[in-house]
Amino acid sequence: MTTSPVKRAYKFRFYPTDAQAAELSRTFGCVRKVYNMALAARTEAWILRQERVGYNATSAMLTQWKKSEELAFLSEVSCVPLQQALRHLQGAFSNFWQKRARYPRFKSKKRSRDSAEYTTSAFRYRGGRLTLAKMADPLDIVWSRPLPEGQSPSTVTVSRDAAGRWFVSLLCDDPAVGPLPAAGTAVGIDAGIISLVTLSTGEKVTNPKHERRDRERLARAQRELSRKVQGSANREKACGKVARIHARIADRRRDFLHKLTTRLVRENQTVVIEDLTVRNLLKNRTLARAISDASWTELRTMLTYRCAWYGRDLVIIDRRFPSSKLCSACGAIRDTMPLNVRAWACDCGAVHDRDVNVARNILTAGLAVAAGGDGVRPQRSTPGGQSSVKQEVVPPQRIRAAAQPRG
Residues 315 and 189: beta-carbon distance below 8 Å? no
Q: Are residues 24 and 169 in the same domain?
A: yes
Residues whose CB falls within 8 Å of the CB of residue 150, separated by 6 or more in sequence, listed in order: none
Q: Are residues 260 and 286 in the same domain?
A: yes
For residue 94, is it within any domain? yes
In sequence order, the β-bridge partners of residue 12 are: 168
Residues whose CB falls within 8 Å of the CB of residue 147, separated by 6 or more in sequence, listed in order: 10, 153, 170, 172
Amino acid at 392: E
For residue 380, is it within any domain? yes
Dihedrals phi, psi of 388, to nearest 5 degrees: -135, 150
Q: How confident is the model at residue 384 (pLDDT cuts 50, 70, 90)?
A: very low
For residue 229, is it within any domain? no
Q: CA 228 to CA 237: how far, in whole Å?
A: 10
Q: CA 383 to CA 387: how far, in whole Å?
A: 8
The better pLDDT of the pair 28, 175 is held by 28
For residue 226, is it within any domain? no
* Structural domain count of the chain: 2
Residues 327 and 316: beta-carbon distance below 8 Å? no
Q: Are residues 374 and 289 in the same domain?
A: yes
- End-of-domain residue from the set 152, 174, 196: 174
Domain of 390, in residue numbers: 186-206+255-403
Q: Are residues 149 and 93 in the same domain?
A: yes
Q: Are residues 308 and 363 in the same domain?
A: yes
For residue 230, is it within any domain? no
Instruction: Give the helix/strand (H/E) hosting 8.
Output: strand 6-14
Q: Which among 340, 3, 73, 331 is positioned nearest to 193, based on CA atoms?
A: 340
Q: CA 161 to CA 298: how far, in whole Å?
A: 19
Q: Are residues 110 and 168 in the same domain?
A: yes
Q: Are residues 318 and 201 in the same domain?
A: yes
pLDDT for the residue numbered 407 = 34
Strand, helix or coil at 267?
helix
15-29, 180-194, 328-342 — which one is most confidently predicted on average? 15-29
Q: Report, as an integer, the average pLDDT of 291-295.
A: 93
Q: Are residues 347 and 201 in the same domain?
A: yes
Instruction: Look at residue 380 and tell me whether its pLDDT is greater than 70.
Output: no
Distance of CA 200 to the CA centre of its chain: 25
Q: CA 30 to CA 39: how far, in whole Å?
A: 14
Residues 381 and 347: beta-carbon distance below 8 Å? no
Q: Are residues 105 and 191 in the same domain?
A: no
Instruction: Look at residue 310 and tell me whether its pLDDT is greater than 50.
Output: yes
Q: Are residues 33 and 148 in the same domain?
A: yes
Residues with catalytic function: 190, 274, 355
DSSP states along 117-165:
EEEGGGEEEETTEEEETT-SS---EE-SSPPPTT---SEEEEEE-TTS-
Residues 190 and 321: beta-carbon distance below 8 Å? no
For residue 292, is it within any domain? yes
Q: How does pLDDT run across 204-243, given as a tens digit for each residue?
A: 999 999 999 999 999 999 999 999 999 899 999 999 999 9
For residue 181, is it within any domain? no
pLDDT for the residue numbered 154 = 94
Instruction: Look at residue 203 and tell me whether its pLDDT is greater than 90.
Output: yes
Q: How does pLDDT run across 19-70, given as a tens digit for each residue?
A: 999 999 999 999 999 999 999 999 999 999 888 899 999 999 999 999 999 9
Q: What's this model's pTM, rounded to 2 decimal places?
A: 0.84
Amino acid at 118: Y
Q: Report, as an integer, the average pLDDT of 258-283.
A: 92
Radius of gyration for the chain, computed over Cα atoms and rounded to the nearest angstrom: 25
Dihedrals phi, psi of 58, to nearest 5 degrees: -70, -30
Q: Are residues 198 and 117 in the same domain?
A: no
Q: Are residues 18 and 144 in the same domain?
A: yes
Amino acid at 294: A
Pairing type for strands 6-14 and 166-174 reads antiparallel
For residue 212, is it within any domain? no
Q: How confident is the model at residue 370 (pLDDT cuts 50, 70, 90)?
A: confident
Q: How many CA atoms lie within 13 A of 400 on its CB side?
A: 4
Residues whose CB falls within 8 Å of the CB of residue 205, separated by 6 or more in sequence, listed in order: 195, 196, 197, 198, 199, 260
Q: CA 352 to CA 348: how far, in whole Å?
A: 11
Q: CA 259 to CA 266: how far, in whole Å?
A: 11
